[in-house]
Amino acid sequence: MTTVLAVANQKGGVAKTTTVASLAAALHELDQRVLVVDLDPQGCLTFSLGQNPDKLEKSVHDVLTGDIGVADVLVETEEGIVLLPATIDLAGAEALLLMRPGREYALKRALASVTGDFDVVIIDCPPSLGVLTLNGLTAAQSVLVPLQCETLAHRGVGQLLRTVSEVQQITNPDLALLGALPTLFDARTTHSRDVLADVSDRYQLPVLDPPIPRTVRFAEATASGATVLSGRKSKGAKAYRDLAVNLLAHWNDGSAVKTYSPAEGVGA
């Protein structure tokens, strides 16, 4: 069975795209066939995996709004991850999709022809709660919420959780909420743990283990068109490798997802 995971947070700058690319690379290292879907018109995931969105002739926009099949648009990256890329054209897709019946199911219908070729599909949702994000949530089996460990980072989390609840009630009753993934985490301070504890208490949202540490390696990797796993060893790469092992055990064996206790600063 193919696992389809949506990574969503309408707040920008929370390492959402970094999480998609790095987790995909870590899963590929574990012999998983991985497809990543860029649903952001900015094309950040496409760029971070070594593709130039400005030079692509076909993208996920053509899949959602035209008659082009997904298989005709896929690009294989140097790290072995298969990418359904995005370009700025995707910005116009929402307006076109709004006029169509069953618009929330466009991505799910499109992916149906290729999901059997992959073990894991990861969808990078845009930083909004529009039609594109609804498509990502409707196509997914579970959703992961990257959460920046800084003050006010959880603004909008409640709205996102309400959106997830509405999707569960209307278009995707089987959608599971995996929890929040702490990003830009600084283990040297109590501030990061306080933010996570607040989110956990306020929204009853599981916090996944391990937290992703703040490191300059992520920016360096993005600039080079590769993931952090392809370069020198770093604590960020190790964290995403551990997360991949955690999630893979959950998907394959049905074991509980390992969570992080903000109060104690340890995994559970």
pLDDT of residue 265: 61
Q: What CATH number is associated with residue 21?
A: 3.40.50.300
Alpha carbon separation from 74 to 38, 71, 81, 263 (Å, rounded): 11, 6, 10, 43
Residue type, 22: S
Q: How many CB atoms lie within 10 A of CB 101?
A: 5
Is residue 221 very low, low, confident or very high in pLDDT (cuts 50, 70, 90)?
Answer: low
Q: Find tokens 């360096």 and name the residue.
A: 220
For residues 138-162, average pLDDT: 84
Find residue 260's DSSP bridge partners: 267
Neighbours of 159 (CB within 10 A): 12
Mean pLDDT of 202-219: 80
DSSP bridge pairs for 38: 124
- How confident is the model over 97-112, as pLDDT tens digits? 888 888 999 999 999 9
Whether pTM exceeds 0.85 = yes
Q: What is the pLDDT of residue 224?
A: 61
Burial class, 133, CB count within 10 angstroms (exposed 0-12 / middle 13-18 / buried 19+): buried
Name the more confident of 152 and 14: 14
Give residue 27's domain range.
Answer: 3-267
Return the structure tokens found at 142. 């579970």
Number of domains in the chain: 1
Q: What is the per-residue burial (b if ≥16 Cβ within 10 Å, else e) of 145-157?
A: bbbbbbeebbeeb
Quick: pLDDT tens for 4-34.
999 998 888 888 999 999 999 999 999 999 9
Residue 4 has a pLDDT of 98
Task: Kindly report the length of the chain.
Answer: 268
